[in-house]
Chain A
Amino acid sequence: MNSAIDRIERKLTNLERMTVVYITRRVLPTDWAVDIASLCLPMQIVQNWVFPESELISDSVNFGLSSAVDDPGSVFVLVIRSGHTLDCHGGFRGRGGLDMVNIMRKYPQIDILFPSEGEFHDHIVRKEAPAKLDYFMARVSAFKRMHRYAKKYTPEGSEIAIRRYITEADFTGGMDFANLCQKAGVAWWQHGGVRWAQLEGKHLVDGYEPEPIGTPSMMKFFARKG
């Protein structure tokens, strides 16, 4: 009886872990924090949240991705950059996060999945180049395949060596990550039914304006020695 189950070669439990890499600031608007907390993700998946901080965004993302790779149970990794700068305040609309995970589960050929940034369409399509690297879901095994090409480095101010999957140039149209993925045979896909959009403060109560309050300068946290 058991041999029949063995041949399915599929775990019958939902013990896959997902590392959520949240790139943000130490101090962030409360409504952004609440919106990100309200991401609709599957209940059955164990989440491992990582909040890396660094002066360079690429260091933060690389730290998060390396954490996912080092986590023995992580199958998926979700990168979110929100609240890091004023122009990156977004989230999956509706059940988007849940759909992204479910599609990754259903189609093992998808290595990296981006949401749509434009109009909805009913296809999951191959992309020739990565979309905005502020938010994507990926299979951890895809990053392990890049290890031959993604060398380790130690970010300035850190004592931890991590792999350089993404460079700072990738956030301004660079092709380093694209080339790395091509070498490792990692494919990008886009989910046309999931949209990442700027949030609109839907939790805010109308008519109440916050009073400006003194916030410690972020530079204080990231100041270099000497």
Chain B
Amino acid sequence: MLEEVTPGEVATDDEPAESRNVMEAICTLGLTRVEWAAAFAQRAFVLGGGRETVIILEQTTSGARHKAIELAREKKTDILFFWDDDIIPLNRNNQAGMIAAMAYNPHIDVIGGVYPIRRDFPEPIVVQQEGGPAYWGWQDKKIHKVYMVGTAFMAIRMSSFADIPLPWFDDSELTSDDYTFAAICARNGKSVYIDGRAICDQIDLNGRRYNIDEGVSDLTVSKIADYKFKELQLSGHRTIRRPRARGSGAIGINGHE
């Protein structure tokens, strides 16, 4: 059926969209796993906005973060995205989703993904209130306001922090750069959010992988610990299951082999 030909109606001008030039900073000691390479190669892009990738070789986490911030300021980047060399998002769209969330929500100053701590009991590195326990409310796949997120897969709106001098991170004397950055944000009234869609694994160079859903996979824990894992209930009604057998010829990514 043919459309009727009319002069059309011109809409009023839209509000200008937020600029979204992204610098993704890969903080690394120089080596990574092939699983990370696969995840990084498959990451999706956000339409519009530039993207620059820099690799920051540093001895300390906070040193690498600060070097990236200096570069982002120098290049007037809109969004600085930290992606450490041991973080594997489980969906190729995770990074794009976080950047889009930030671009369409100007009130978000910081947004992070969900990834577990490197322990046999891999709780997510996200806290809703200062001094509180690990936060599991992100399981509804929504974006929640929180107190602290892990900084290894996190986006910062640079304009929000233009007047805040460095240092923002400190991992000396057993403090965590995650917590020091959360304190900086709280002190300066900056909003921090967690993206419940962006769930990631952490991986060691030896292949040991920390997964929130399944506990530690490829693990070498004692049978006693394994038995406890099977029974362990987390808040939010999650059960850590036994690791799946691995070892096929091809490495699977995002459910495909």
Contacts and interface: CB of A to CB of B under 8 A. Distances in A.
Nearest to B27: A30
B55 A204 contact: yes
Given A52-B249, A205-B67, A30 B32 contact: yes
Interface string B32-76: 111011101111000000000111111100000001000100000
B245 interface: no
Given A37-B41, A50-B250, A67-B250, A211 B59 contact: yes
Nearest to A208: B57
A33 interface: yes
A213 B211 CA distance: 24
Interface of A: 22, 24-34, 36-39, 47-54, 63, 67, 158, 160, 203-205, 208-211, 213, 215-216
A185 to B, nearest CB: 30
Nearest to A213: B29
B163 to A, nearest CB: 25
A32 B207 CA distance: 18
B209 to A, nearest CB: 12
B232 interface: no
B205 interface: yes
A52 B205 contact: no
Given A26-B207, A28-B37, A208 B250 contact: no
Q: What does DSSP make chain B's interface, helix, strand, loop or mixed?
A: mixed
Contact of A51 (B30, B31, B34, B43): B34
A54 B249 CA distance: 8
Given A49-B42, A208-B67, A209-B57, A30 B31 contact: yes
B27 to A, nearest CB: 9
Interface residues of B, number: 33
A28 B41 contact: no
Contacts of A32: 37
A28 B55 CA distance: 14
A67 B31 CA distance: 28
Interface of B: 26, 28-34, 36-38, 40-43, 53-59, 67, 71, 85, 205-207, 249-251, 253, 256
Most buried by A among B28, B29, B30, B71: B30
22 contacts: A22-B37, A22-B38, A28-B34, A29-B31, A29-B32, A30-B28, A30-B32, A30-B85, A33-B41, A34-B26, A34-B55, A37-B41, A49-B253, A51-B251, A53-B249, A53-B251, A67-B250, A205-B54, A205-B71, A210-B30, A215-B31, A216-B205
B256 A203 contact: no
A34 B205 CA distance: 17
Contacts of B41: 22, 33, 36-37, 39, 49
Contacts of B256: 48
A67 B26 CA distance: 31
Contacts of A211: 29-30, 59
A36 B37 contact: yes
Contacts of B32: 27-30, 33
Nearest to A203: B55
A153 B36 CA distance: 31
Residue from A49, A52, A158 having most chain B Cβ neighbours under 10 A: A49
A34 B40 contact: yes
B254 to A, nearest CB: 10
A28 B56 CA distance: 16
A58 to B, nearest CB: 14
A27 B31 contact: yes
A1 B55 CA distance: 55
Contacts of B56: 205, 208
A108 to B, nearest CB: 28
Contacts of B253: 49
Nearest to A51: B251
Nearest to B32: A30
Contacts of A27: 31-34, 205
